[in-house]
């Protein structure tokens, strides 16, 4: 019984990681090629893309931290 539950969790996490990687792979390759062949525009677009990815990682962490602080203050 536990094995089936663990297997379903692992399958779900694997699917999530693969879908995120596949969504990020194509734009990253396209922007790297754009940066390589059109450096004037490509560098600016690449920096913006990196900032967007950073924001997408940092924002949920900051949101959870804010929610935890609010929960502790309410007690």
pTM, two decimal places? 0.66
Q: Is the pLDDT of residue 1 over 70?
A: no
pLDDT digits (tens, 9 = 90+) for 3-45: 888 889 999 999 999 998 888 898 899 999 999 999 888 999 9
As a three-state string, the secondary structure of the chain is: CHHHHHHHHHHHHHHHHHHHHHHHHHHHHHHHHHHHHCHHHHHHHHHHHHHHHHHHHHHHHHHHHHHHHHHHHHC
Compute CA 28 distance to the chain's CA centroid, rounded to the nearest angstrom: 12
Distance CA 59, CA 65 (A): 10
């Amino acid at each position: 019984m536990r094995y089936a539950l663990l297997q379903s969790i692992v399958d779900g996490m694997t699917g999530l990681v693969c879908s995120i990687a596949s969504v990020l792979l194509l734009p990253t390759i396209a922007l790297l090629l754009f940066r390589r062949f059109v450096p004037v525009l490509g560098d600016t677009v690449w920096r913006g893309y990196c900032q967007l990815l950073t924001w997408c990682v940092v924002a949920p962490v900051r949101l959870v931290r804010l929610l935890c602080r609010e929960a502790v203050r309410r007690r």
